[in-house]
Structure 1
């Protein structure tokens, strides 16, 4: 059963004070745009964010995410060596093959270096080599991409290859799903995210003739231009136009943005920087609860206790337009009663804050302590109370 508990606290009442102001306007030339504040879950801008689009090289975020999952599970060592198959090299080298890491046939390359080649250099060759190294074939790897996509909640995306190369429409995403994917990399794999995203350049391969090292710059348009920018991935094909999924963190606030369908390289730079700058300057956060603070309780089924305290797993805040203090509502939502056993720190509920300007802002709530299953007599007593209408 979906349970909802309305809250009224000083944290909520503080949002009603102050002078009213209009929500911050924003106009973008990007056909598709999406901006979300991960601190609160507030969607600050959504323009055609559910339209299916070809991702181009932004699909490589999912290739990277599959690798991150395996690495953190101990199933894929960073020092594992992968072989560049001659047939793979033949297909993915030269001007007709798009962005490249400049791999060589039969070359042995570590997973770590391939990930740098994918994330920083956007290497189509690196993506396929890693896919084949992990799953044997690119087709099998695409199946892993789609399985993980379902697990992460990508509800309107499908992957047919590892690098986003046009494939007659088999590969498609939405801006909203790309933001969800970015959030997964940031929050599920913070160490790997920091290690691989946000690198300004990477050196691999040698020039023909002189044999000089080849250094290529990261195409990320906000890196070094927006304070706190550290990810994620650009994309471009004739079919998709110019796109970008990016993230930056300032003062504890992390934003994720997506723009797609732009006409030029320069337009992508301008729109990406404008949107991220607007997100930080036109919006602010109002603190709600400090990490560890009790927010409420949830009913427990067949546990040693009949309810469990819900606490904030991190500092929680609500996002509002700068200068605006509008009426808002806060509630706890969970599927319950929550069945025991429950682990301490397990996410079992959500804090939902609704404002006129952002709709629902959804934040996690976790169990303050462990609740084991009730013993035999405890289950009998619980059943009796339910029968008598006492629970």
Structure 2
């Protein structure tokens, strides 16, 4: 048997092979770092230095919230539980700190649900420290646990020194990791995601509005978090859903709050307008019929085990190349579902995808007489 590579021009799905590399997507941003992700698949649609480590500022509070959501999901914490506000939380993140705060009073006890709202809507540093101390005893211990949990989630370029995003050389993430983290929150904690769309919150008699400008500029936006320090510039993690499509956008390193607001809406609009979902093959549909050696059937269909769909621009779709790789002929017996080859999909400016191709049917081996006749036929006719 010899491995063969089939290059297919499939008119039904208008796949046009290209010989030369196409230029990158002609789109840029004023942000220093950016990632646009398809939420359903986690595929990165467009990025700018998306895997370069950066200061995440308060966007790293998403990791603090993820740790709290983990505790809620495991049952070790309930929304009605009350966490005490220490003097450290009050001094480092409260009214005396000069930073974003929910104005928690030292010595008071605050329900977990209220802390979630304070951290999301008001970016409350005192709320984050209160959560950290309640879950792990101290903020340094909590930061170490954040780093460890990040590794478990595949956020390999993220390290944490605190729960708030306060400037520290060891408080680092990438835009790609932030997008992955946002996706984790959206899909693994759907029961808590609604808090991210709350536009206002009042605690301790003080009313504050959500700092996420995209919530007010785009009605399809429903989260997640902003950030700003001198070291990071202005940034945000935002998600929006239009129809059945959800995108996650991370921007960081912008010069002003105004630029952050305008850029978030501009990039989201471009993303929804430019990227579409294309079905390449349906689950169980024959991609190709492979010849069979010594089988009761002369061919076996090669099928994908699941729908094969890609999010891409129309230009990327035109430049897509599809190939099938398998050893021919396939030797009988063959069991339905047995992997026989791979489907390789190459799209300009996207990672190559290789998808297993499975036998679409059972093919029994010929009996002794049939195998002998088949061998004789091959010797005489070469087929």
- Shorter-chain TM-score bucket reads 0.7 to 0.9
Structure 1 gap segments, 5+ residues each? 1-5, 207-213, 297-308, 333-349, 366-391
| Contact 2:85/2:108 (8 A) holds in 1 | yes
Deviation of the 1:71 alpha carbon: 1.1
**Is the deviation greater in 21-30 or in 151-160?**
21-30
Q: Deviations over 1:155-181 (max 9, x none)?
A: 1110010000112x0111111111111
**1:192 to 2:185 alignment:** no
Q: What RMSD over aligned residues (CA atoms) do the two structures have, in Å?
A: 3.3
Q: Deviations over 1:168-217 (max 9, x none)?
A: x0111111111111111112112222x321111111122xxxxxxx2211
Question: Residues 119 and 285 of structure 1: is their aligned pair in 2 closer, same or farther, counting only changes over 3 Å?
Answer: same
Deviation of the 1:120 alpha carbon: 1.4
Q: Secondary structure in 2 aligned to 1:287?
A: strand
**1:148 to 2:164 alignment:** no
Deviation of the 1:69 alpha carbon: 1.3
Q: Tell me the residue number matched to 2:259.
A: 267
Question: Residues 188 and 165 of structure 1: is their aligned pair in 2 closer, same or farther, counting only changes over 3 Å?
Answer: same
| Contact 2:234/2:256 (8 A) holds in 1 | yes
Deviation of the 1:28 alpha carbon: 1.0
Deviation of the 1:357 alpha carbon: 3.5
Q: Secondary structure in 2 aligned to 1:16?
A: coil
Q: Tell me the residue number matched to 2:333.
A: none
Question: How far apart, in 1, do the equivalents of 2:247 and 2:10 lie?
Answer: 23
| Contact 1:36/1:43 (8 A) holds in 2 | yes
| Contact 1:138/1:161 (8 A) holds in 2 | yes
**1:222 to 2:221 alignment:** no
Q: Tell me the residue number matched to 1:299.
A: none
Question: How far apart, in 1, do the equivalents of 2:96 and 2:255 lie?
Answer: 21
Q: Secondary structure in 2 aligned to 1:103?
A: coil
Question: How far apart, in 1, do the equivalents of 2:263 and 2:199 lie?
Answer: 20
Q: Deviations over 1:21-41 (max 9, x none)?
A: 987521211111111112344
Q: Tell me the residue number matched to 1:205.
A: 204
Q: Deviations over 1:295-334 (max 9, x none)?
A: 89xxxxxxxxxxxx9854xx763112146533233789xx
Q: Deviations over 1:325-380 (max 9, x none)?
A: 33233789xxxxxxxxxxxxxxxxx9975312433469999xxxxxxxxxxxxxxx
Question: Residues 102 and 360 of structure 1: is their aligned pair in 2 closer, same or farther, counting only changes over 3 Å?
Answer: farther
- Give the TM-score of the pair, scaled to structure 2: 0.74
Structure 2 gap segments, 5+ residues each? 287-302, 326-341, 358-383
Question: How far apart, in 1, do the equivalents of 2:7 and 2:77 lie?
Answer: 48
Q: Tell me the residue number matched to 1:177.
A: 177
| Contact 1:287/1:316 (8 A) holds in 2 | yes
The partner residue of 1:246 within 229, 238, 250 is 238
Deviation of the 1:67 alpha carbon: 0.9
Q: Tell me the residue number matched to 1:283.
A: 275
Answer with 1 or 2: which has the greater Rg: 2
| Contact 1:23/1:321 (8 A) holds in 2 | no
Deviation of the 1:91 alpha carbon: 2.7
Which structure has more RCO (C-alpha within 8 Å, separation ≥ 6)? 1
Question: How far apart, in 2, do the equivalents of 1:351 and 1:133 lie?
Answer: 50
| Contact 1:24/1:282 (8 A) holds in 2 | no
Question: How far apart, in 2, do the equivalents of 1:134 and 1:285 lie?
Answer: 41
Q: Tell me the residue number matched to 1:88.
A: 89
| Contact 2:15/2:322 (8 A) holds in 1 | no
Question: How far apart, in 2, do the equivalents of 1:150 and 1:114 lie?
Answer: 25
Aligned length: 318
Q: Tell me the residue number matched to 2:224.
A: 232
Question: Residues 352 and 254 of structure 1: is their aligned pair in 2 closer, same or farther, counting only changes over 3 Å?
Answer: farther
Question: Residues 110 and 325 of structure 1: is their aligned pair in 2 closer, same or farther, counting only changes over 3 Å?
Answer: same
Question: How far apart, in 2, do the equivalents of 1:119 and 1:12 lie?
Answer: 49
Deviation of the 1:139 alpha carbon: 1.2
Question: Residues 310 and 70 of structure 1: is their aligned pair in 2 closer, same or farther, counting only changes over 3 Å?
Answer: farther
| Contact 2:36/2:45 (8 A) holds in 1 | yes
